[in-house]
Structures are given as C-alpha cells and as structure tokens.
Amino acid sequence: MARRSTSSSTGRPTGNPSGPRNRTPQPVRVRRRTFGDFVKAFLAFVALLALVVGVPGALAMTVGWPLPHSAPKMDWLSQPIGVDTFLNTLTVIVWLAWAQFTACVLVEVKAAVSGVGLPGRVPGAGPSQLLARQLVAALLLVGATAASLTPGLSQLGHSMEGNQKGTVAAAQATPGLLAQQQEQAKSTAAALAEQAGHAAAQAQAEHGSTAAAHGATKYYRIQPPEGRHHDSLWEIAQRHLGDGRRYKEIYELNKDRIQPDGSRLSEASLIRPGWIMEMPGDAHGGELVENPDAHVSPDVQQQIGDYARTGDHAQQHQQQGGQHAGEDGATAQISVPSQRQAGGAGTSAHAHDASGHSSSGSASGSASGSVFGSAFGLSEALLGAPLLAAGLLATLGRRRRQALWQSALGAVGGRRGMEPPTPTGDAQDVQDALLVGADPEGVRLLDRSLRGLAAALTAESRSLPVVYAAWLSHGDLHLQLAQPAGKPPAPWQLGQDQTFWTLTRADAERYGDTDAAAPYPGLVSLGTMDDSRLLLNLEAVPGIVSLSGREADRAAVFASVAAELATNGWSDRMTITLVGFGADLTPLAPNRLRHLDDVDALFEAMEAETRQRRGALGAAGHDSVLTGRTGPAQHTRWAPNLVLLAAQPSAEDAVRLAELAADAARLGIGYLVGTESADLPGASWAMEITPDGKLLAPLLGLELDAQLLPAVQQRAVVELFVEADPERDPDGPTNAPPFLVDISEQGRPAVYARLVGPYEIMGLDTPDGDRSALLHEALALLLLHREGVHPRVLSSALWPRGVTEDVRDALLERLRAWLGTDPDGSPRLRADATGRLMLAKSVVSDLDVLRSLYYEATQGKGVDSRAVRGRLLTDALVLVRGPLLADRAEGRYRWLTHEIIDAQLPLLVADIGLALSAFHLEKDRAEKAIEALGAALKTAAADERLWNELLRATHATGDPDRVRALAADLVARSGARGLPPRTEALLDELLPTWRESAAATG
C-alpha cells in the first residue's frame, strides 16, 4: 500500500515513496563568547605555563638532580633511609608525573592542530589527560585563528552549549566534560521553550529567501566525529550564519553536487566527514576557507577547486526538479540491508523469513485440517513475533520450573511433581501461539553473534560501535552503525556500505558460548519490512523516539516492546521503566519491569539516575556505556534503563524530557514516548502506528508491518505468568494430574507406551518405512499433553522450519490409522470441540500410570490405608527405568526444550522415593528405605532431599562406617562447590567428625 502522508515541519507532505524527507531540526540557542571565556582562556594559559614550565623549573632550583651521579653499590641497599633519600624519591615521582602530563598536553595539542579525530590515549593518564584536554580546549576555543586550526575542539566549544538533538545524524555531547553537559541540558530546555513561543517566526524564516551573498565564495569542510559528536548542517549554520534554521541555504547550495568521495548530498541530515560545503556569502568564522586560500594544503585547495566547478551543474540539476536526487547519495539512516544473490550461501529449498522460520510454515496454521473438521486460528500477533514469542516462552518455562522447585522444599505430598494449572480460553490460545511462533534458535544465534562480536572487539582492544538498528534478513544478521567503524572482526563482513556489518547464518552457527557481556541489550523488534525484521536499539537513539497514533494502537506497540525487552534472550541486566501503562505487565519480569504512576515520579527517578550515570562514567574514564561493556568492567555496570512513557506529556514536561534525553544515548538510557500528534518537542525520531498495523517513520524511510501485542493477548500472557508464579497461593488446593487412569486389573489399556526410560509401545504394530520415527514422536507429544494439542503446535513441533497443510494432514491420517479404533468404533485420535487433537482414554503411557499411582497413594485410597499406600508407592517406583525418552535420536524431540517435564519427572520420582522411604522408616526398616532412595536417585540424582534422607536412613542402621562412607561420597560429588548448607547441617548432627575425615581425605 502507499505510504501514508504526514505533514512535515515545512508544511509539505512527507509521504513521498521515493525517499524520506528530512525533519526540520529544532532551533537552539548558542552562547556567544563572553569576557568570562577570555578569562578562562587566560587562566588556562597560566595553568599550562605553571604545570609545563613552572614545575620543572621549581624542581631544578629547589631540589636539583634527584638521582645518583654514579652507579650505586650493593651496600647502598642496607643503608638507612634518610630525609634526603625520601625527598629524592618524591622528586622522581613528581618528575614522572610532570613528564606524563606534558606528554598529555603534547598529544592534545597535536590532535587539535591536525584536526584528525580523537587524540590518542597516554597509557595510565586518564585524569591527567582529561585535565590537559580541558586546559587546551579552553585556551584554543577563544580565537578565530585557533578555531580554524582546531576543528575538533572548535566544534567542542560550540556543541557543548547548543542543543545536540538533530534528526538522523544528530550531534551528541562529547563525553567527559560533565559541567558543559549540564550547561547543554539547560540550553536545550531553554531552546525548546523558545521554540514553542516562536513557531510563527520560525515558519516565516523557513520560507524566506536566501540571504544575498557578498564577498568571496567561502567553503566549509565537514569535520570527522569527535567522540560521539558528529557535525551537522544545523550546527554549521548556527556557528557560521548565526541561525541554525538557515541550514536549508547550505543544503540548497550543495544539493546533488559531487563530493570528493564521489557521492552526493541528497538528504540534509546525511553528511560525511571530508565533504565540502559551499557557504552563503555572509558566512563567518575561522573554520571557513575562501577560494583560493593559501592557508590550506594543496590537496584541500584542489578538492575545493574541483568542487567549485560543480556549482553550475548543481544549479541545472535543481532546475530540472531534482528528479534523480538521491540515486547516488548516501543510504537512508535506517535502511533495509541489501539482499543476498539468489543461490548464494545460506539459501535453501525453503524460503526463510526474518526469524529463520520457513515462509511455508504459515500454510500449516490456518486450520485444524481437513481430517479433523472445523478450522480455527491463533493470535497472528504472536505468530508473527518469533523473537518475542521465544522470550515469553523461555521465561514462562523458567517460571514454572521455579514454582516446581520451590514447592519441592515443602513436606512430602501436595503439588510437587504434578502439572501446573492447565490454561484455558484465551490463555490456552496464547500458549499455543507462543509454541507455534517462537524461534528459540534465532534468539540463540542472535545472542551468540552479538556476544561473539563483543569478545572479538575486546580481543582487538577496540570499542563497540554505536548500533542504531539490527536487521534479521533471510537468516543473516545485519548491524546498522551510526557511523563507519572500520573493518569488522571476522567472521563479520562489511555490508552494502561502511555502516553495515553483516554476519551470515552459517558463520553465526559456528559461534559458541562466551562470557562476554551483552553488548546491545536495548535492541527490540518493531516489525518487518521487505521480509526483513527490524530491531531498533532504543538506548542508542540520539534523543527521544516518539510514537503517535490511536491510543489502543500505541498501547499494543508499547506492550510488545515492554514484553520483549523484559524477556529477550540477548541481554543480561536491564531496567524497563513503564509510565502510564503496563502495571499488569510486571509479572513477566518483576526484576526488570518498574512501573511508575505518573510523569512526576519519572522525573524524580530519572534525574537522579542521569546524574549518577554521568558521575560513574566520569569516574571510570569511559566515553559511554559502550566502552564500559568491554574489558574488565563489562559485567559490573552499564545495564540500560529504557523508559516507555505511553501518556502524552504536557508542553512543560516535554521540555524536561528533552533535557533528560539530551545526553541519554551516551548514558545507556532510552526514551520511547507516546504522543497524540506527530510533533513532540525534543523527539529525534518520530514514528506513527496506523489502525491497519503499519508502523511509519517517513523521516527514516521506514514502513513496517508493526509487531503488536493487543490488549486481549496481553491479558492472556499475563494470566499465564500469574498462574505460574511460585509465590501465588502456596497453601491453595493441590492440582490433580490432568489424566488419571484406572489402575485396577480391569483398567488395562489398549495401547501402552513406556516413556520413562527407553521408548517402547505395546498394543500396536511397528510402522514400516522412514515415517516410523515421525509417528512415534507425534504420539509422544500427544501423550505428554492429555489436555489436547493444537494442530499447528503439533506441526511446528515436528517440522520447526515449516510444513504445508497437505503434508501435515497426511501424517495425521497415518497416525490415526496406526492408532486404530476402540471396540465401539470410535477413533483413538480425535478432535475436541475446539479442534485440538486428543487421544482416547484407551491410549496410556507409563507416565500417566506413575502420576495416577502417586496421586492415589498420597491423596486417594492410600491416605486411609497404610498397606495400600505402601503397595501403590512400590508399584510406582518400579515403573521408573531412567530419564524420559532415554534413547531418543539426536536432533529429534527438540520441542521438549519448551516443556517442563524435564523438571517434573525427577521431582515426581523423588517424591515417590521420599514417601516410600518414610513409609519404611515408620517400621524401622532402614534397609528398605535405603533401597527405595537408591532407586529414586537413579533418575533424580541432583535432588538434595533424597541425599539427606539417605543420610538419615543410613544413620538409622546404626553403622557409623556406612555413614562416613556416604559422607565421603557426598563430599566428592560436591566438588569445588561444596556441600549444600542443609546437608552440612545434617552431617554436623549425625556425624560431628565428618569435617576431619573430609580434610584428611582431601
């Protein structure tokens, strides 16, 4: 569909599909040089003179040469240390400190004079070099002549006092100068307030005619970035024309003219270091160069001369309407990566979408299939969000395991080993959608790829580049950088230009686990575009990201972003601050999600955190949180805080937000703010969500199919997590198994499958051919889910890369034929009222029998009869032959990673062993108790409760040698971790001398 048109700040439509238009930068107020600046420069000169010249002069006059004039003899070491020796040693230290500071001054001056990037770092001279940098900057920023020789420092002086919020290539504050950053924030707030009061004047200025040129033609050369500060046309106009709003005059003079690197200026927000800009005639300032100018190098003169001859061509090109503008220009700031050539590496017979799923996989999902009648679907929002679904599913599984393990700490009996509550209604549909839509392999590869990149850069002593976005396209990962960062480490490669780093899926699969910190935890999925999935790095955006649209549509985007950030698998630690929504989302990640009631609470929290982070970065000597995520400090700090403000802020609050966000990207803080209109003061990137689910960002050239989490699905997801909360109603009623079988002689099943141990099936003929393994796997999945399995869940489990409906239906028909019918003629594989696949009660597994026996022993007939309880527990333990599906083939049954049966079965076996041990110890049958516990330990060897009970049973035999032998075995098993505290306390009670024996053995 055509892109929806929106109004830009110039009043023109921005819906041109040929390319994005530039957002008019916000006006800023630049402080002129004052008398105080000259005073600071004079004081800086005096300080440099005193430190560089005065210190060595004073040392030479007062102390003299501190080192011996000849080689000392060995007896010098035994002489007492006198006052002279102490003073000479102290003098040497001062000389070394002076030499280090002088080296810092020379490095800073050389970098300032050369104007090439950041100065080099003097080893071990963080505070000294920072002081030298500030003194040199204060000295050189006064005069125009000095400014012309020091482009990096001259930009520093101006940029620190202006608003750093641009559009895409927005300038950001140079790190390290905290006082100037605070002044910058104040200037930003004042500028935004002035903007609101002078909107009419701004509009008139934007449509005014270009100022008449006078004097010689002047040129400006775009300077290389200084830290995280980048040159922009707005700042150039502010410095040299006195008004940032005149940036359009510079743009029109240079539009589509060939630059020294062969490219063209096609977007006002996209300029590159080394480009030349012709300036209006009234431009002023020491950084400008007139043509010809003898003060610049011959190479620069040649470039300016060549560029000057392109003026007529540019004017003619503009008269033709600019029809070809941008064809050879720079790529859009957030642009879809170039696709690989057909048949290239990594392609396969199936077309894969951005998540790695097969595009044909969706074909399996529209209905339950012709074999089983009525068609029904699942939440398309979650089916189309593979990374979000994988994160939610993994976190939900951990939560359910935690509930099982926590309940296992209680007394014998009760809920342990039993199924968690079975979801129903919307919650069941959402759980099925998570199972179908999740792409855990994609999450794993993304996480390993990013951590592998961080580890490789650390090994090369390189900092992490600023990443604005990541694209997952046909299995490959593309990182879009804020600026070129050189050649990426292998196996990463340069993409379509210097701002793209690309990793193929084949290379990503070779990455292993690493202990590197997560480099880009702020990446979050926004949607898909041209079969590519976009993840925006919220913490790297230079300012605020605004989201406009209807309230319900905005809420769906905010919920999706919050849920994925809270549960994603490519971050370590993170804080997500929710304001104006999401109080019910807290159960998803109580340790990550923080809900604040209103904007006032947000300001109170974030102003304090902003100050704290600035101070921490300064104290650690880091430029930004990215440099803090590599090296020794990578695991100690720099976790992002991403603020999601759903409610529209007032005009005054918007000013305060802009002030907070002015330096946020450097500090690892991101802001996503909802707004009713497209114009939010202080917003760097503006997005709009439409009623038809499109996420538009015309200034960035994006039109995405948005990733959403609508209100119904949001409530259902929260319900799943609330039901899995281990702290929820711990004394509530015990959940019965979902399927109880008749354990009497009359209850013999027609089909009996043994899953606990090697997989065996009785009552059915073995299928012939290669489809036997697939049929066995499908039957195992159905046996583990007696509540029913959605056909799409079954097909996605058996074919993770996708399958067509005809293949799935053919398998289901073969499975139904294999299972056969009951004596009454009803099929043993059927569909319930909702269309989910279910097995008849005549098809039973040993796990069903195991659960039923334990339930009857502890909550049924065995409660009132000791003899019945002992018989049922003994029969249950006999069924345990090993772990679940012990002989399953490698590469199959991958869906078990989504299950909690791996935690349920050991707990259930441990509960049976503990109950049977207690049954025998009541009659002082210690050997029988030891036998029962030993049988349970074969399946649940990591259960501490079994070992502690084994200690008690062994102690009950009255043989201290057996207790000592068991204690030694436990100590050997524990290794370097040591024994658990409860086991140590029990040994202290039963065998006080165990520590001595362990020490002697060790």
CB atoms within 10 A of CB 263: 15
Q: How far is CA 887 from CA 463, 607, 685, 760, 770, in A?
A: 47, 58, 54, 10, 18
222-246 mean pLDDT: 77
Ramachandran bin of 417, using left for φ above 0, alpha for ψ from -120 to 50, beta for the remaining angles: left
- What pLDDT does 470 receive? 95
Q: Which residues pair with 831 in a beta bridge?
A: 837
Look at the block and give the residue holding tokens 């489809």: 771
3-state SS assignment for residue 582: coil
Rounded to the nearest 10 degrees, the angle between the axes of helix 981-990 and helix 944-956 is: 0
Alpha-carbon distance 854 to 869, whole Å?
A: 9
699 vs 568, residue with greater confidence: 568
64 vs 195, residue with greater confidence: 64
486 vs 296, residue with greater confidence: 486
How does residue 827 score in pLDDT terms, banded at 50, 70 and 90? very high
pLDDT at 574 over 70: yes
pLDDT at 162 over 60: no
pLDDT at 460 over 80: yes
- For residue 892, give the amino acid letter: R
Peptide bond just before 491 cis, omega within 30 deg: yes
- φ, ψ of residue 275 in degrees (nearest 5): -70, 155
844-872 mean pLDDT: 91
249-257 mean pLDDT: 86
What is the tens place of the pLDDT at every residue in 643-695?
999 988 888 888 888 888 887 888 889 999 999 877 787 788 889 999 999 99
Contact predicate 518/638, CB 8 Å = no
What is the tens place of the pLDDT at every residue in 547-569?
999 999 999 999 999 999 999 99
Alpha-carbon distance 53 to 431, whole Å?
A: 73
Q: Which of 68-77, 398-407, 492-501, 503-512 has the lowest mean pLDDT?
A: 68-77
Contact predicate 877/916, CB 8 Å = yes
194-209 mean pLDDT: 40
- What pLDDT does 439 receive? 93
Closest CA to 26 of 658, 647, 610: 658
How does residue 361 score in pLDDT terms, banded at 50, 70 and 90? very low
Which two structure tokens, joined as six digits, stand for 390?
């994988």
Alpha-carbon distance 846 to 852, whole Å?
A: 10
- What pLDDT does 71 receive? 57
- What pLDDT does 974 receive? 84
- What pLDDT does 802 receive? 84
pLDDT at 753 over 90: yes
Which two structure tokens, joined as six digits, stand for 902?
């791996």
DSSP letter for each residue of 601-619? HHHHHHHHHHHHHHHHHHH
Query: 800: Cβ–Cβ under 8 A, 6 or more apart, which residues?
Result: 357, 441, 894
Length of the chain, please? 1002
537-544 mean pLDDT: 88
Q: What angle do CA 759, 763, 768 make, to 5 degrees?
A: 70
- What pLDDT does 182 receive? 41
pLDDT at 18 over 80: no
DSSP letter (8 states) at residue 516 = P
- What pLDDT does 947 receive? 92
| Strand pairing report for 683-689 and 641-645 | unpaired
Surface-to-core class of residue 754, CB atoms within 10 Å of its CB (0-12 exposed, 13-18 middle, 19+ buried): middle
What is the tens place of the pLDDT at every residue in 32-55?
556 666 777 788 888 888 888 887
Alpha-carbon distance 500 to 510, whole Å?
A: 21
Q: What percent of the chain lies above the pLDDT cut of 90?
A: 33
In the chain, the N- to C-terminal Cα span, in Å, equals 74
The most confident of the ranges 71-85, 432-446, 636-650 is: 432-446
- What pLDDT does 698 receive? 81
pLDDT at 739 over 50: yes
Closest CA to 642 of 594, 689, 587, 570: 594
- What pLDDT does 102 receive? 85
For the chain, the average pLDDT equals 77
623-632 mean pLDDT: 69
288 vs 328, residue with greater confidence: 288
Contact predicate 229/291, CB 8 Å = no
Alpha-carbon distance 908 to 412, whole Å?
A: 11
The alpha helices in 530-598, defined as continuous H runs, are 551-567
- What pLDDT does 515 receive? 83
pLDDT at 387 over 90: yes
Q: Which of 213-222, 444-453, 833-842, 883-892 has the lowest mean pLDDT?
A: 213-222
Ramachandran bin of 326, using left for φ above 0, alpha for ψ from -120 to 50, beta for the remaining angles: left
